[in-house]
């Protein structure tokens, strides 16, 4: 995935939306992702819903089984220590899906590369409903590159996945920003679609123009639930994760993946063997079929551009676990 000098110059010049938590001039702006057709025009901006917050989430019991038969009256949404009024509530099995597959194509994941792509292909074939759902594919090594734009053609997606080749550095954060800002966050209204991002990689980044928290902010602003499948098979023993095959030592990259997915309401999977990748993708597919959605208008409504923590609870049952994003960014007036 290499660009010619003129293309690289264009990408370096392309501006990104300013990030609120980073003071002007302190961090270079992330580049626009390369696209097969054309780069977004300067007029395109990353806009948010002004008066409503949508939260996608799952509920499970203590054995990890999804609970899908709850009603709006079972839930509370807390923001600023205040219970919020729920305007809309739905189970999400029928809402259109928009899925971004982000594949680390750097040299660091070469060993299991082909099997990972085959597992991703099988996942898309089982999840995408023709005429209703769409998926796209980004590859990232030294640059974030849009390999295939949104389509419901799973054969085309499979072909594009097979075309990927490993090599180069790792610009994961730039890929997260490009997918969220330029693709997943575009279709409106946001609450009429389910948006998910699946990162296949080791979580390391050595080539992005943006930071981890900048990338997370864009993902959160697009109302995206992020999932990750770690390609690491070794790491520091300071932290561990129990997976299907035993205890997995978390590397620094694994910790980044866990942070990104935890903050957006998703999950990171740690397959010990290549064969477990298929089960991990199936787990993600099952979760996408088991989601709830809540829409509410914040009270009091703030347009300060800041991050506002929220908490979704099942107040009628103490034995259930809610997994949802932990907050949202308010628009700035």
For the stretch 227-284, pLDDT in tens is 999 988 644 333 555 454 455 578 999 999 999 999 999 999 998 776 788 899 999 9
Cβ contact 168:189 at 8 Å: no
Q: What percentage of the chain has pLDDT greater than the value 90? A: 65
Q: Which residue has the higher pLDDT, 9 or 216?
A: 216
Nearest-angstrom CA–CA distance, 179 and 196: 10
User: Is 14 part of a structural domain of the chain?
Assistant: no
Cβ contact 203:222 at 8 Å: no
Residues 236 and 249 in one domain: yes
Q: Is 53 helix (H, G, I), strand (E, B) or coil?
A: strand
Q: Which residue has the higher pLDDT, 38 or 166?
A: 166
Handedness of CA 195, 201, 202, 207 (dihedral sign): negative
For the stretch 141-165, pLDDT in tens is 999 999 999 999 999 999 999 999 8
Residues 189 and 302 in one domain: no
Nearest-angstrom CA–CA distance, 71 and 125: 31
pLDDT, position 277: 87
Predicted TM-score (pTM) of this structure = 0.81
Any alpha helices (H) in 135-251, and if so which ranges?
154-163, 172-179, 212-221
Count the domains in the chain.
Answer: 2
User: Is 45 part of a structural domain of the chain?
Assistant: no
Is residue 222 over pLDDT 80? yes
Cβ contact 220:305 at 8 Å: no
Residues 87 and 112 in one domain: no
DSSP-assigned letters across all residues of 125-141 = HHHPPTTT-EEEEEEES
Residues 241 and 138 in one domain: yes
pLDDT, position 310: 97
| Residue 162, domain CATH | 3.40.50.410
Residues 196 and 221 in one domain: yes
């Amino acid at each position: 995935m290499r660009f010619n000098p003129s293309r690289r110059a264009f990408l370096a010049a392309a501006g990104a939306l300013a990030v609120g938590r980073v003071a002007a001039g302190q961090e270079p702006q992330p580049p626009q992702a390369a696209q097969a057709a054309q780069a977004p025009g300067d007029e395109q901006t990353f806009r948010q819903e002004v008066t409503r917050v949508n939260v996608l989430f799952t509920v499970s019991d203590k054995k990890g089984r999804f609970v899908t038969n709850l009603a709006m009256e079972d839930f509370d949404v807390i923001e600023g220590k205040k219970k919020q009024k729920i305007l809309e509530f739905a189970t999400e099995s029928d809402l259109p899906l928009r899925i971004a597959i982000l594949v680390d194509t750097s040299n660091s994941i070469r060993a299991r590369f082909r099997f990972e792509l085959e597992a991703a292909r099988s996942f898309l074939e089982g999840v995408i409903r023709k005429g209703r759902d769409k998926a796209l594919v980004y590859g990232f090594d030294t640059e974030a590159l849009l390999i295939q734009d949104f389509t419901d053609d799973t054969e085309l997606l499979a072909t594009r996945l097979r075309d990927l080749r490993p090599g180069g550095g790792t610009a994961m954060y730039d890929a997260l920003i490009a997918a969220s800002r330029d693709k997943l966050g575009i279709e409106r209204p946001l609450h009429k679609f389910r948006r998910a991002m699946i990162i296949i990689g080791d979580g390391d980044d050595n080539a992005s123009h943006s930071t981890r928290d900048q990338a997370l902010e864009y993902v959160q602003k697009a109302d995206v639930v992020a999932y990750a499948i770690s390609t690491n098979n070794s790491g520091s023993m300071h932290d561990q994760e129990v997976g299907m095959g035993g205890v997995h030592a978390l590397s620094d990259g694994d910790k980044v993946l866990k942070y990104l997915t935890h903050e957006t309401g998703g999950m990171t999977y740690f397959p010990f063997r290549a064969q477990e990748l298929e089960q991990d993708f199936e787990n993600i597919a099952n979760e996408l079929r088991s989601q709830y959605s809540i829409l509410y208008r914040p009270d009091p409504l703030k347009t300060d551009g800041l991050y506002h923590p929220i908490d979704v609870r099942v107040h009628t049952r103490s034995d259930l676990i809610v997994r949802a994003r932990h907050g949202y960014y308010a628009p700035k007036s």
